[in-house]
Structure 1
Amino acid sequence: MKVAGTNPAEKQEPREGIYSSSRLERGLIVLTIALASIGLGYLFFTQLWWKLPPDFGCRDDFTRGGLCFFLQHSVDEADASNTLLKANILESRPGAEVSVPIGWATQLNAAFIENVVQPNIRWFGYVIWGTEAWIFLSMCLGFFSRLGALAAIGMSMQLMIGLAHTPNEWEWSYILMVLLSVAMFGLAPGRYFGLDRLLRPRFRAMGERGSRVGRLLLLFT
């Protein structure tokens, strides 16, 4: 008696996407993810050099220039426009017919900068600079890439809330940073290239032995 589905000779359905049985398809996916990840990392790399420690490009006792300028700019423009994702559908009518209000977020962001970041810029600047440096290393080396992508989401969200709505800024440059960071968080690019491919088997073995640290490290890679 023949049992359905047990014949190894039966033709299997072709696998698609990241599970594709085609070496060319898998290679193309890995290459695309690697390019996107390294591109995101390089973006943050380019922003390290105009705000180098210990003064982060600031002048006049950390009141002007460099990182201090953009922090103050976010505070000064907290009331500007206060909308994102604007779509001007009917050119004959002024203003955007579709938009998302973010006034509450810009006000919270401004309050955080004024009350936390600016008074402590001498050490908080290291947090900002170090986070961006970590994103660069994580995304380009595929090292704890999901953790790096999470940091990129946080940095990109802050930039989007603080600057995307201000005059002379193209909001989609910041929105696309957020979307790319979210995509990298979901994909965990280090699983396709880089150091995470070497680390994950070790972390998985730790998790299988009951180590909570191993399971946590596995999640971040």
Structure 2
Amino acid sequence: MHETVSDRGSPVEPLDTGRGSRGAVAAVRVVVGMLWVANSGWKTPPDFGQDTGTGLFRFTRYAVEHPVFPPYTWLVDNVVLPNFVLFGYAVLLLEAALGAFLLVGLATRLWAVLGMVQTTAITLSVLNAPDEFPWTYYLMFAAHVVLFATAAGRTAGLDGLLRPLWHRSDGRVARILMRVS
């Protein structure tokens, strides 16, 4: 293993990039993808719980009933709730896509960022709600940071298989895919 030297003159070993490390990152990617798929399963159209005050509607209302960040509370109360069915479909689509793309490891860095954004929105909705464990959301956010930082789809994912093709291509889509993978 190649050693580098820190500013203080002591040896610094680079991060382990062996098979075990790559396998662990791939496993985290798949588990996080499965989490999003499972999470999208209880968001049920056509009203997403609006008529009964359950499901996604209930958890979205928490942002108003147990506010965390006043501008977010205002957004939920004045934009999201009046357009709730449209919001419900957008959430369902986003979370199902997060799960699918992370499972197969395609455009993983893009989906990791979207996962951070969605996790932040969820956190701002439920952080002060009764019976919520805040560390759940902090760990979920941290998992997405790891997926982004390690480009997790490059190991046992489609990003790793397709990057050589994208690299050889002069097309705009290929350049974009290189950046988000």
> What TM-score comes out, normalization by structure 2 length?
0.86
174, 177, 181: which one pairs with 1:214?
174
Q: Kindly state the Cα deviation for residue 58 of structure 1 after the two structures are TM-superposed.
A: 3.1
Q: Kindly state the Cα deviation for residue 16 of structure 1 after the two structures are TM-superposed.
A: 4.5
Q: Distance in 1 between matches of 2:61 and 2:16?
A: 44
Q: Distance in 2 between matches of 1:16 and 1:73?
A: 44
Pairing 1:55–2:47 present: yes
Give matches, 1:11-22, under 5 Å: 13=2, 16-19=14-17
Q: Distance in 1 between matches of 2:150 and 2:134?
A: 25
Larger Rg belongs to: 1
156, 162, 168: which one pairs with 1:193?
156
Give the secondary-structure state (helix, strand or coil) at the position aligned to 1:50: coil
Give the secondary-structure state (helix, strand or coil) at the position aligned to 2:42: helix
Give matches, 1:1-221, under 5 Å: 13=2, 16-19=14-17, 26-60=18-52, 64-78=53-67, 82=68, 106-206=69-169, 209=170, 211-221=171-181
Q: Kindly state the Cα deviation for residue 140 of structure 1 after the two structures are TM-superposed.
A: 1.0
Q: Kindly state the Cα deviation for residue 70 of structure 1 after the two structures are TM-superposed.
A: 0.9
Give the secondary-structure state (helix, strand or coil) at the position aligned to 1:51: coil
Q: Distance in 2 between matches of 1:111 and 1:175?
A: 23
Q: Distance in 1 between matches of 2:122 and 2:143?
A: 14
Q: Distance in 1 between matches of 2:124 and 2:47?
A: 24
2:47–2:85 Cα contact (<8 Å) kept: yes
Q: Kindly state the Cα deviation for residue 214 of structure 1 after the two structures are TM-superposed.
A: 2.6
Q: Distance in 2 between matches of 1:65 and 1:168?
A: 16
Q: Distance in 2 between matches of 1:178 and 1:18?
A: 23
Structure 1: tracts of 5 or more residues without a match: 1-11, 20-25, 83-105
Aligned length, in residue pairs: 172
Give the secondary-structure state (helix, strand or coil) at the position aligned to 1:54: coil
Structure 2: tracts of 5 or more residues without a match: 4-12
Q: Kindly state the Cα deviation for residue 125 of structure 1 after the two structures are TM-superposed.
A: 1.1
Partner AA of 1:76 in structure 2: E
1:150–1:181 Cα contact (<8 Å) kept: yes
